[in-house]
């Protein structure tokens, strides 16, 4: 990859990390969304098994995107990974422990014909569906507020906040937006994969979630525009230099998070898609067009996530303690050799992941109904 210079490599990896998180949102978004809907769209054990069978064969493959995205941050931006895990340690541990319910819940939930046993694991799957998007949404919201960390002269990071300090109302609202997006996306997916009363209830919840996405996204945008000061680079930065977050000047002022939309008008496509596609998901679910609804929910999530990414660029992790210590894509990246080797591995292996993922869905595609569950009582789920 010698034909790609260091500055371009940094930009490429900002795009690739973003693509991996978009892949996580699209795949884990619908199976976590189904987990959140599970106790509500299924009134009987058989109906809940219909919902479970729609995602159970795929959830572990979908989780590959979460592992890839986290691993990419570790490899591409090691200083971001280290600082983030220091500050968000308790929150990330809560997310990790919530994920423990997933393999156990899917594999053991239907092993015993005991109502209390199965109900307990249904709520366990609900927890494993709602906690990760809530925590990731809160974390993403905190990026716009600034994270309380700084470095000493030896680049040792110090975190000056605590867990409860992350629960700013704006960040909590971001978490609720993430939950609404996943419920909307999971509902659209479940509409494609189930029948009977599960379909009708899911259709209703999908419409409610789409309305919530539109409302929360609008409130977040207005809040960011009117009440939250943004970060901006006010000094020259050597985009091709090795990682060193201490050699720049950053200032905080009103409206800074929106300057990229003024300088690069094409980025306005992202928030427009976020709103329009969410409304399209509402209309499609109302019209019983499950496939179109799923496409709309995917586009809406992509638009909303890209809206945040475009606002933050080039910042990755802003510091509220010392803004000049904020991490950007230019001063937090791994070495040129590391980024080059990783790019080669990514171009080789990500297409393989995409191929086997699509193959699994093609082979296992179909609708589930209560009759299917009754006919296949020996089914794993």
CA distances from 254 to 227, 228, 230, 257, 277 (A): 8, 7, 6, 8, 29
pLDDT digits (tens, 9 = 90+) for 39-86: 999 989 889 999 998 998 888 888 889 998 989 999 999 999 999 888
pLDDT at position 196 is 81
Is the model more confident about 121 or about 113?
121
Other Cβ atoms within 10 Å of 21 Cβ, number:
21
| H or E segment to which residue 165 belongs | none
pLDDT exceeds 70 at position 3 = no
Q: Is-contact 226 180, C-beta < 8 A?
A: no
Distance of alpha carbon 293 from alpha carbon 192, whole angstroms: 9
pLDDT at position 379 is 57
Q: Stretch 194-219: mean pLDDT, rounded?
A: 94
pLDDT exceeds 60 at position 128 = yes
Tell me the sheet residues that pair with 252: 231
- What's the pTM? 0.93
Distance of alpha carbon 248 from alpha carbon 285, whole angstroms: 49
Top-confidence range, 16-25, 108-117, 193-202, 208-217: 208-217
Q: How many CA atoms lie within 13 A of 10 on its CB side?
A: 22
Q: Stretch 252-270: mean pLDDT, rounded?
A: 93
Q: Stretch 182-194: mean pLDDT, rounded?
A: 95
pLDDT at position 57 is 86
What does residue 310 show for φ and ψ, rounded to 5 degrees?
-65, -35
Min mean pLDDT across 107-111, 219-223, 226-230, 259-263 is at: 107-111
Q: Is-contact 150 325, C-beta < 8 A?
A: yes
pLDDT exceeds 90 at position 371 = no
Whether 368 maps to a domain, the answer reads yes
Tokens of 30: 């619908």
Whether 195 maps to a domain, the answer reads yes
pLDDT at position 18 is 94
pLDDT exceeds 70 at position 302 = yes
Q: How many structural domains comprise the chain?
A: 1
Whether 1 maps to a domain, the answer reads no
pLDDT exceeds 70 at position 252 = yes
Distance of alpha carbon 119 from alpha carbon 230, whole angstroms: 45
pLDDT exceeds 80 at position 373 = no
What does residue 240 show for φ and ψ, rounded to 5 degrees?
-105, 10
Q: Stretch 8-24: mean pLDDT, rounded?
A: 94
Tokens of 177: 């937006």
**Number of residues written out for the chain:** 381
**Range of 255's domain?**
6-375
Min mean pLDDT across 2-6, 286-290, 321-325 is at: 2-6
Distance of alpha carbon 220 from alpha carbon 176, whole angstroms: 11
User: Nearest CA to 176 among 207, 130, 227?
Assistant: 130
Distance of alpha carbon 338 from alpha carbon 73, whole angstroms: 13
Other Cβ atoms within 10 Å of 86 Cβ, number:
12
Whether 381 maps to a domain, the answer reads no
pLDDT at position 294 is 97
Tell me the sheet residues that pair with 368: 194
Per-chain mean pLDDT for the chain: 91
- Position 2 confidence tier, pLDDT thresholds 50, 70, 90: low
User: Nearest CA to 58 among 89, 27, 86, 21?
Assistant: 27
Distance of alpha carbon 39 from alpha carbon 2, whole angstroms: 53
pLDDT exceeds 60 at position 209 = yes
Q: Stretch 351-380: mean pLDDT, rounded?
A: 80
Whether 144 maps to a domain, the answer reads yes
According to DSSP, residue 368 is labeled B
pLDDT at position 285 is 96
Q: Is-contact 99 132, C-beta < 8 A?
A: yes
| H or E segment to which residue 243 belongs | none
Buried b (16+ CB within 10 A) or exposed e, 299-335: bbbbbbbbbbbbbbbbbbbbbbbbbbbbbbbbbbbbe
Q: Stretch 213-219: mean pLDDT, rounded?
A: 97
pLDDT at position 1 is 43
| % the chain with pLDDT above 90 | 69
């Amino acid at each position: 990859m010698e034909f790609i210079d260091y500055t371009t490599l940094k930009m490429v990896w900002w795009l690739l990390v973003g693509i991996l998180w978009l892949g996580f949102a699209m795949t884990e978004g619908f199976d976590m969304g189904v987990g959140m809907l599970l106790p509500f769209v299924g009134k009987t054990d058989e109906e809940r098994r219909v919902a479970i069978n729609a995602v159970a064969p795929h959830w572990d493959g979908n989780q590959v995107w979460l592992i890839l995205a986290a691993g990419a941050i570790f490899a591409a931006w090691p200083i971001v990974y280290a600082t983030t895990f220091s500050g968000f340690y308790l929150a990330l541990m809560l997310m990790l422990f919530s994920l423990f319910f997933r393999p156990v819940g899917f594999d053991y939930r239907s092993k015993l014909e005991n109502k209390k046993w199965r109900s307990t694991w249904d709520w366990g799957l609900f927890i494993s569906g709602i906690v990760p998007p809530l925590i990731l949404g809160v974390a993403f919201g905190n990026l716009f507020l600034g994270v309380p960390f700084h470095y000493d002269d030896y680049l040792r990071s110090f975190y000056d906040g605590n867990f409860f300090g992350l629960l700013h109302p704006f960040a909590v609202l971001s978490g609720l937006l993430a939950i609404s997006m996943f419920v909307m996306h999971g509902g659209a997916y479940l509409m494609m994969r189930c029948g009977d009363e599960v379909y009708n209830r899911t259709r209703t919840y999908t419409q409610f979630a789409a309305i919530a996405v539109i409302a929360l996204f609008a409130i977040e945008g207005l809040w960011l525009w009117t009440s939250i000061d943004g970060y901006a680079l006010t000094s020259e930065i050597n985009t091709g230099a090795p990682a060193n977050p201490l050699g720049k000047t950053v200032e905080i002022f009103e409206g800074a998070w929106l300057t990229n939309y003024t300088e690069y008008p094409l980025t306005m496509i992202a928030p427009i898609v976020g709103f329009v596609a969410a409304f399209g998901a509402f209309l499609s679910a109302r019209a019983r067009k499950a496939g179109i609804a799923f496409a709309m929910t995917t586009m809406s999530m992509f638009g909303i996530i890209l809206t945040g990414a475009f606002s933050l660029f080039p910042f990755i992790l802003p510091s509220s303690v010392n803004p000049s210590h904020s991490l950007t894509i230019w001063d937090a990246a791994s070495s040129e050799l590391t980024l080059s080797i990783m790019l080669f591995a990514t171009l080789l292996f990500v297409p393989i992941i995409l191929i086997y993922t699509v193959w699994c869905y093609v082979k296992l595609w179909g609708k589930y109904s209560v009759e299917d569950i009754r006919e296949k009582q020996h089914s794993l789920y």
